[in-house]
Amino acid sequence: MEVRGGWTVAGVYEDNDVSAFKTRVKRPEFEHLMEDLERGFLDGLVAYDLDRFARQPLDLERSIRIFDSRNLVFTTCSQTSTSPPQMATMARIVVAFANKSSMDTSRRVRRKHLELVQTGVPTGGWRPFGYLADRRTLDAREAQLIRQASSDVIAGVGLHTICRRWNDAVLSSRAAEWLRGLQARPRRPSAPGQLRRRRRA
Protein backbone atom coordinates (compact mmCIF):
# COMPACT_ATOMS: atom_id res chain seq x y z
CA MET A 1 0.00 0.00 0.00
CA GLU A 2 1.27 3.48 -0.86
CA VAL A 3 0.44 7.01 0.26
CA ARG A 4 1.25 10.46 -1.09
CA GLY A 5 4.77 10.98 -2.30
CA GLY A 6 5.19 7.33 -3.15
CA TRP A 7 5.77 6.30 0.47
CA THR A 8 5.34 2.66 1.38
CA VAL A 9 3.43 1.95 4.60
CA ALA A 10 5.73 0.08 6.98
CA GLY A 11 3.23 -0.20 9.81
CA VAL A 12 -0.02 1.08 11.29
CA TYR A 13 -0.11 2.35 14.88
CA GLU A 14 -3.58 2.72 16.39
CA ASP A 15 -4.68 3.53 19.94
CA ASN A 16 -8.45 3.22 19.61
CA ASP A 17 -10.52 4.72 22.44
CA VAL A 18 -7.36 5.86 24.27
CA SER A 19 -7.17 9.52 25.25
CA ALA A 20 -4.31 11.59 23.84
CA PHE A 21 -5.19 14.35 26.31
CA LYS A 22 -5.05 12.61 29.69
CA THR A 23 -1.49 12.66 30.97
CA ARG A 24 -1.95 9.59 33.15
CA VAL A 25 -3.16 7.45 30.26
CA LYS A 26 -0.55 5.34 28.50
CA ARG A 27 -0.90 4.98 24.72
CA PRO A 28 0.87 1.69 23.93
CA GLU A 29 0.90 2.14 20.16
CA PHE A 30 2.05 5.76 20.45
CA GLU A 31 4.98 4.63 22.59
CA HIS A 32 5.71 1.85 20.10
CA LEU A 33 5.69 4.42 17.30
CA MET A 34 8.09 6.74 19.15
CA GLU A 35 10.49 3.84 19.76
CA ASP A 36 10.43 2.79 16.09
CA LEU A 37 11.08 6.37 14.98
CA GLU A 38 13.98 6.79 17.39
CA ARG A 39 15.55 3.50 16.36
CA GLY A 40 15.41 4.43 12.70
CA PHE A 41 12.87 1.83 11.66
CA LEU A 42 10.75 4.50 9.93
CA ASP A 43 11.49 7.42 7.63
CA GLY A 44 8.40 9.43 8.48
CA LEU A 45 4.83 9.45 9.69
CA VAL A 46 1.42 10.12 8.21
CA ALA A 47 -1.31 10.87 10.78
CA TYR A 48 -5.00 11.42 10.17
CA ASP A 49 -4.79 14.80 11.87
CA LEU A 50 -2.35 16.51 14.19
CA ASP A 51 -4.73 16.65 17.15
CA ARG A 52 -5.33 12.90 16.74
CA PHE A 53 -1.59 12.39 17.06
CA ALA A 54 -0.94 14.66 20.06
CA ARG A 55 -3.04 16.74 22.40
CA GLN A 56 -0.33 17.34 24.97
CA PRO A 57 2.48 19.80 24.17
CA LEU A 58 4.98 17.46 25.85
CA ASP A 59 4.10 14.66 23.41
CA LEU A 60 4.45 17.03 20.48
CA GLU A 61 7.83 18.39 21.64
CA ARG A 62 9.05 14.85 22.13
CA SER A 63 8.10 13.95 18.57
CA ILE A 64 9.58 17.18 17.13
CA ARG A 65 12.89 16.38 18.85
CA ILE A 66 12.92 12.92 17.27
CA PHE A 67 11.95 14.20 13.81
CA ASP A 68 14.52 17.00 13.89
CA SER A 69 17.35 14.75 15.11
CA ARG A 70 16.76 12.21 12.34
CA ASN A 71 15.48 14.56 9.63
CA LEU A 72 12.20 12.64 9.37
CA VAL A 73 9.01 13.71 7.61
CA PHE A 74 5.71 14.21 9.42
CA THR A 75 2.51 14.91 7.55
CA THR A 76 -1.23 14.55 8.04
CA CYS A 77 -4.28 14.31 5.82
CA SER A 78 -4.59 18.09 6.23
CA GLN A 79 -0.88 18.49 5.33
CA THR A 80 0.77 19.89 8.46
CA SER A 81 4.45 18.98 8.39
CA THR A 82 6.85 19.44 11.30
CA SER A 83 9.89 19.26 9.04
CA PRO A 84 10.44 22.99 8.30
CA PRO A 85 10.78 25.20 11.44
CA GLN A 86 7.71 27.28 10.54
CA MET A 87 5.62 24.11 10.31
CA ALA A 88 6.77 23.02 13.78
CA THR A 89 5.64 26.39 15.11
CA MET A 90 2.23 25.94 13.50
CA ALA A 91 2.00 22.42 14.96
CA ARG A 92 2.66 23.82 18.44
CA ILE A 93 -0.18 26.30 17.99
CA VAL A 94 -2.60 23.61 16.75
CA VAL A 95 -1.79 21.28 19.66
CA ALA A 96 -2.07 24.12 22.18
CA PHE A 97 -5.59 24.91 20.96
CA ALA A 98 -6.52 21.21 20.88
CA ASN A 99 -5.26 20.88 24.46
CA LYS A 100 -7.34 23.87 25.57
CA SER A 101 -10.41 22.42 23.86
CA SER A 102 -9.96 19.14 25.72
CA MET A 103 -9.49 20.96 29.03
CA ASP A 104 -12.65 22.98 28.45
CA THR A 105 -14.63 19.83 27.65
CA SER A 106 -13.25 18.04 30.71
CA ARG A 107 -14.15 20.99 32.92
CA ARG A 108 -17.72 21.09 31.59
CA VAL A 109 -18.17 17.34 32.08
CA ARG A 110 -16.88 17.48 35.69
CA ARG A 111 -19.16 20.42 36.44
CA LYS A 112 -22.16 18.61 34.97
CA HIS A 113 -21.45 15.42 36.92
CA LEU A 114 -21.11 17.40 40.14
CA GLU A 115 -24.42 19.15 39.44
CA LEU A 116 -26.13 15.78 38.85
CA VAL A 117 -24.70 14.32 42.05
CA GLN A 118 -25.71 17.35 44.10
CA THR A 119 -29.29 17.05 42.82
CA GLY A 120 -29.38 13.29 43.34
CA VAL A 121 -29.59 12.39 39.67
CA PRO A 122 -27.88 9.08 38.70
CA THR A 123 -24.95 9.50 36.31
CA GLY A 124 -25.03 6.33 34.22
CA GLY A 125 -23.40 2.95 34.51
CA TRP A 126 -24.96 -0.36 35.49
CA ARG A 127 -28.09 -0.44 37.62
CA PRO A 128 -26.93 -0.70 41.24
CA PHE A 129 -27.98 -3.96 42.86
CA GLY A 130 -30.82 -3.16 45.25
CA TYR A 131 -32.41 -0.50 43.04
CA LEU A 132 -34.89 -0.51 40.17
CA ALA A 133 -34.08 0.70 36.67
CA ASP A 134 -34.60 4.36 37.65
CA ARG A 135 -31.61 3.91 40.02
CA ARG A 136 -33.50 5.69 42.81
CA THR A 137 -36.29 3.33 43.87
CA LEU A 138 -35.36 0.38 46.06
CA ASP A 139 -35.97 -3.10 44.71
CA ALA A 140 -37.73 -4.70 47.67
CA ARG A 141 -36.41 -8.19 47.04
CA GLU A 142 -32.80 -7.21 46.41
CA ALA A 143 -32.81 -4.70 49.27
CA GLN A 144 -33.93 -7.43 51.66
CA LEU A 145 -31.08 -9.66 50.46
CA ILE A 146 -28.60 -6.87 51.20
CA ARG A 147 -30.04 -6.31 54.68
CA GLN A 148 -29.91 -10.04 55.42
CA ALA A 149 -26.34 -10.31 54.10
CA SER A 150 -25.26 -7.42 56.31
CA SER A 151 -26.71 -9.15 59.35
CA ASP A 152 -25.10 -12.45 58.31
CA VAL A 153 -21.65 -10.87 57.95
CA ILE A 154 -21.94 -9.34 61.41
CA ALA A 155 -22.98 -12.74 62.74
CA GLY A 156 -19.88 -14.33 61.20
CA VAL A 157 -21.38 -16.03 58.14
CA GLY A 158 -18.76 -16.52 55.41
CA LEU A 159 -18.90 -14.64 52.12
CA HIS A 160 -18.81 -17.87 50.12
CA THR A 161 -21.98 -18.97 51.90
CA ILE A 162 -23.67 -15.64 51.22
CA CYS A 163 -22.65 -15.81 47.54
CA ARG A 164 -24.15 -19.28 47.20
CA ARG A 165 -27.41 -18.09 48.75
CA TRP A 166 -27.56 -15.06 46.44
CA ASN A 167 -26.81 -17.15 43.35
CA ASP A 168 -29.69 -19.47 44.31
CA ALA A 169 -32.00 -16.48 44.83
CA VAL A 170 -31.06 -13.90 42.20
CA LEU A 171 -28.31 -12.94 39.77
CA SER A 172 -26.50 -9.61 39.96
CA SER A 173 -27.81 -6.53 38.13
CA ARG A 174 -25.40 -7.51 35.31
CA ALA A 175 -26.99 -10.98 35.05
CA ALA A 176 -23.77 -12.53 36.34
CA GLU A 177 -23.08 -14.88 39.23
CA TRP A 178 -22.01 -13.47 42.55
CA LEU A 179 -18.39 -14.01 43.52
CA ARG A 180 -16.54 -13.52 46.77
CA GLY A 181 -15.39 -10.12 45.47
CA LEU A 182 -18.65 -8.61 46.71
CA GLN A 183 -16.82 -7.95 49.99
CA ALA A 184 -15.20 -4.87 48.44
CA ARG A 185 -18.41 -3.30 47.19
CA PRO A 186 -19.80 -1.97 50.49
CA ARG A 187 -16.57 -0.04 50.99
CA ARG A 188 -16.95 1.96 47.79
CA PRO A 189 -18.18 5.55 48.11
CA SER A 190 -20.94 4.87 45.57
CA ALA A 191 -22.56 2.28 47.86
CA PRO A 192 -23.90 4.86 50.36
CA GLY A 193 -24.32 7.44 47.59
CA GLN A 194 -21.15 9.37 48.34
CA LEU A 195 -18.97 11.16 45.81
CA ARG A 196 -15.22 10.89 46.08
CA ARG A 197 -13.41 13.73 44.39
CA ARG A 198 -9.69 13.82 43.70
CA ARG A 199 -8.12 17.03 44.92
CA ARG A 200 -5.65 18.64 42.56
CA ALA A 201 -2.47 20.16 43.91
CA geometry: angle 184, 185, 188, nearest 5 deg? 100
Please give the mean pLDDT across all residues of the chain.
79
Instruction: Please report the pLDDT score of residue 181 as a whole number.
Output: 52
Q: Is residue 121 scored above 80 in pLDDT?
A: no
The SS3 of residue 73 is: strand
Instruction: Please report the pLDDT score of residue 5 as a whole number.
Output: 61
Task: For residue 8, give every residue at least 6 positions away whose Cβ sits within 8 Å of its Cβ, in sequence order, or none.
Answer: 1, 2
Please tell me which of 60-64, 115-119, 175-179 the model is most confident about, judged by mean pLDDT.
Answer: 60-64
Task: For residue 141, give every residue at least 6 positions away whose Cβ sits within 8 Å of its Cβ, in sequence order, or none.
Answer: 170
Instruction: Please report the pLDDT score of residue 200 as a whole number.
Output: 47
Check residue 106 and report its DSSP letter.
H
Q: Three-state secondary structure along 133-153?
A: CCCCCECHHHHHHHHHHHHHH
Percent share of the chain, pLDDT over 70: 77
Indicate the pLDDT class of residue 174, thresholds 50, 70 and 90: low
Indicate the pLDDT class of residue 41, thresholds 50, 70 and 90: very high
Q: What pTM, to 2 d.p., does this model score?
A: 0.52
Indicate the pLDDT class of residue 175, thresholds 50, 70 and 90: low
Q: Is residue 25 scored above 90 in pLDDT?
A: no
Instruction: Please report the pLDDT score of residue 76 as a whole number.
Output: 82
Q: Domain boundaries in the chain?
A: 4-116, 140-187
54 touches 25 (CB < 8 A): no
Q: How many CA atoms lie within 13 A of 172 on its CB side?
A: 13
Question: What mean pLDDT do residues 75-95 have?
Answer: 73
Reply yes or no on domain 4-116 having CATH 3.40.50.1390: yes
